[in-house]
Amino acid sequence: EVQLLESGGGLVQPGGSLRLSCAASGFTFGTYALSWVRQAPGKGLEWVSSVSDSGGRTYYVDSVKGRFAISRDNSKNTLFLQMNSLRAEDTALYYCAKVDGTGTTSRAFDIWGQGTMVTVSS
């Protein structure tokens, strides 16, 4: 069964840092691009970042550029999101998602994890 399992969320003060992880199973991890999508409480979905299958290409929404860094370890089937200089507006449920085809990040998201909650508050 194809699965994604996020971890690493929690309560952090403004300006603090967190590192999210997403452990994957059930598919050939290194052949698919992956993304992070977040959802603020009671709000809609917002794409945050994507990384290519090799990890060589990364993309970000403007609001997190320079603060967040996406990466992956294909030997450990794990995706990461390093979040620095966190702000209250980063409070959200963070999902990792797999694209539905190989070779590009420009595909629909066919598999989603259950999400990990990040709360930025003093």
Partner 1 sequence: DIVMTQSPDSLAVSLGERATINCKASQSVLHNSNNKNYLAWYQQRPGQPPKLLIYWASTRESGVPDRFSGSGSGTDFTLTISSLQAEDVAVYYCQQYYSIPYTFGQGTKLEIK
Return the number of the residue (16 or 91) whose C-beta is nearest partner 1: 91
Return the number of the residue (83 or 96) whose C-beta is nearest partner 1: 96
CB of 38 to partner 1, least distance (A): 11
- From the CB of residue 10, how many other CB atoms can be counted at a distance below 10 Å? 12
Task: Give the strand pairing for 10-12 and 116-120.
Answer: parallel
CB of 121 to partner 1, least distance (A): 22
CB of 112 to partner 1, least distance (A): 4
CB of 93 to partner 1, least distance (A): 9
| Residue ranges that bind partner 1, judged by CB under 8 A | 35, 37, 44-47, 50, 59, 61-62, 95, 100, 105-110, 112-115
Return the number of the residue (50 or 78) whose C-beta is nearest partner 1: 50
